[in-house]
Amino acid sequence: MCPHAALRARAYPAEAMLDVPLGFRAAPFRAQPTQNTRYTIQVSPDDCTGCGLCVSACPVQDVDTGIKPLQMEPTDSVRTTENQNFAFFDQLPEGDRIHAHLDVKGSQLLEPLFEFSGACTACGEAPYIKLLTQLFGDRLVIANATGCSSIFGGNLPTTPYTVNDNGRGPAWSNSLFEDNAEFGMGLRLGSDHQQHTAQALLRDLAPHLPAALVEELLTASQADDAGIAAQRNRVRLLLSALRAVPGEAARNLEQLSDLLVQRSVWAIGGDGWAYDIGFGGLDHVLAQGRKVNILVLDTGVYSNTGGQQSKATPLGASARFAAGGKRSARKDLALMAMTYGNVYVAQVAMGAKDSQTVKALVEAEAHPGPSLVIAYAHCIAHGFAMSAGLEHQHDVVASGAWPLFRFDPARTLRGEPALKLESGEPTLSITDFMRSEGRFGWLDQAPPHVAEHIRNVAAADIQTRRALYHQLATLRPPEAPKRGT
């Protein structure tokens, strides 16, 4: 949950613990059968903003006292010691991507390639981007719409995107509000075109290269990190073999050989882009059927430019240009995308169900067509202490205002409903949720009949949408017609 990647987890061989600083903490790693693996959670005190989200997220506490093992301390009291510990931690072996389990625990043992950004303290958007870099690593290609994520993602001359020990990292570029989805599509099309060119050159040069190597380069699966690592090793062998092959075609293939490795292309931006200014382009990209992943960091407001309402702003919330509260329901972008039938769609909230968030991102990347993941992100514009962001993510799901689900077209091939609801019946009234956030505070000052009307309409909207989603979650695909004799 750490927005700035100042808190890290690592599992490593016990023999790596040489010259350990006094006070460095390690424990046996119980998630593997080996008895020789240690586990450490370590903070970088100079990069921690003190937001407290880690303490909020920590699942362990003393049964009698309720005290958690993770506690906030004054920086000056721990800086020297923990800087030494972090320096030692930082040189320990990174997690093994090839054998990693891409679940909650396994993903956090992988190196984040997005760190120490200029995002707000306790930002709700940054953890999703950090997780994306942990899941897909240095093969990420990101088209970033203008907004909060582009500002803290590219506040040059520094950048929070970094490289691994091999010198590789995500490729990132910023585009405008109105065309970021098309920009991401262009990155996908350009990458695919270069890959096809490289494959054509490889086929032309096949008589001069090892036959088995050519066949594997063209057909081997790259569905996971093991496949990606194997393909990169084949590319190294290819470059070595090409040195003995004369001619312009061989030189061109040397330049394009990296494109034989699959890229993970993501268009990222806020709800102002996805629901409003860039919606036409986003819809166009979803309709093309190409493998472009879209991640919407949904704060329900134009966060970066001062908190103006967007079509994602929930009913009743105040914002700039909606000081008297938004009087229409939020746009259901997910439902609109589902109507295409071939688009992978998920709605997630990391603070409510982190395992579902990880599954959705992994499935979105594995889906052969377009994908759309809409991620709830708490924001300072919501009007509460950001240190309570994860509780508010939990509560918005518990109120029914933000249902969690995954719509996977692949399920229909198995005769199952494509939609899977993953949040239960509401356990918190929408009125109680509204009263916990400042953006709905105007309701307490409004005439009682106005406030009652807004709350009733909001509750009815939740019930109507939930009934619709329930119906879709039971809708099985029709059986294929049998052939006549």
In a domain, 311, yes or no: yes
Please give the Cα distance from 382 to 240 (Å, whole number): 56
In a domain, 17, yes or no: yes
pLDDT in tens, 175-193: 988 999 999 999 999 999 9
Find the helix or strand (DSSP H, E) in which 11 lies: strand 7-13
User: Is 405 found in the same domain as 304?
Assistant: yes
Structure token digits, residue 69: 């093992």
User: Is 398 found in the same domain as 249?
Assistant: no
pLDDT in tens, 425-482: 999 999 999 999 999 999 999 999 999 999 999 999 999 999 999 999 999 988 766 6
pLDDT in tens, 401-411: 999 999 999 99
Supply the mean pLDDT for the chain.
94
User: For residue 369, what is the domain's CATH number?
Assistant: 3.40.50.970
Please give the Cα distance from 163 to 107 (Å, whole number): 17
In a domain, 86, yes or no: yes
In a domain, 175, yes or no: no
Please give the Cα distance from 27 to 14 (Å, whole number): 10
User: Is 305 found in the same domain as 227?
Assistant: no
Please give the Cα distance from 134 to 115 (Å, whole number): 11
C-alpha of 195 from chain center: 25
Residue 421 CB neighbours (<10 A)? 18
User: Is 313 found in the same domain as 212?
Assistant: no
The whole-number average pLDDT for the span 269-284 is: 97
Please give the Cα distance from 477 to 341 (Å, whole number): 11
User: Is 407 found in the same domain as 310?
Assistant: yes
3-state secondary structure of 366: helix
Yes or no: say if 230 and 302 are a contact pair by the CB < 8 Å rule.
no
Torsion region of 66: left, alpha or beta (phi above 0 gives left; psi -120 to 50 gives alpha): left
Structure token digits, residue 347: 């709605």
User: Is 303 found in the same domain as 219?
Assistant: no
In a domain, 195, yes or no: yes
Domain count, the chain: 3
User: Is 457 found in the same domain as 346?
Assistant: yes
In a domain, 20, yes or no: yes
Yes or no: say if 94 and 133 are a contact pair by the CB < 8 Å rule.
no
Residue 393 DSSP code: H
User: Is 411 found in the same domain as 460?
Assistant: yes
User: Is 230 found in the same domain as 307?
Assistant: no
Please give the Cα distance from 237 to 216 (Å, whole number): 12
C-alpha of 44 from chain center: 23
* pLDDT, position 481: 64
As a residue count, the chain comes to 485
N- to C-terminal Cα distance for the chain?
59
Is 90 exceeded by the pLDDT of residue 485? no
User: Is 332 found in the same domain as 385?
Assistant: yes
Strands (E), 135-238: 140-145, 171-175
Structure token digits, residue 140: 């990420």
User: Is 305 found in the same domain as 253?
Assistant: no
* pLDDT, position 95: 87
Yes or no: say if 309 and 319 are a contact pair by the CB < 8 Å rule.
yes
User: Is 224 found in the same domain as 82?
Assistant: no
The whole-number average pLDDT for the span 237-257 is: 97
Q: Which domain holds residue 233?
A: 183-260
Is 90 exceeded by the pLDDT of residue 156? no
The whole-number average pLDDT for the span 13-36 is: 86
Q: Is the peptide bond before 157 cis (omega within 30 degrees of 0)?
A: yes
Residue from 224, 217, 255 nearest 139 by CA = 224
* pLDDT, position 32: 64
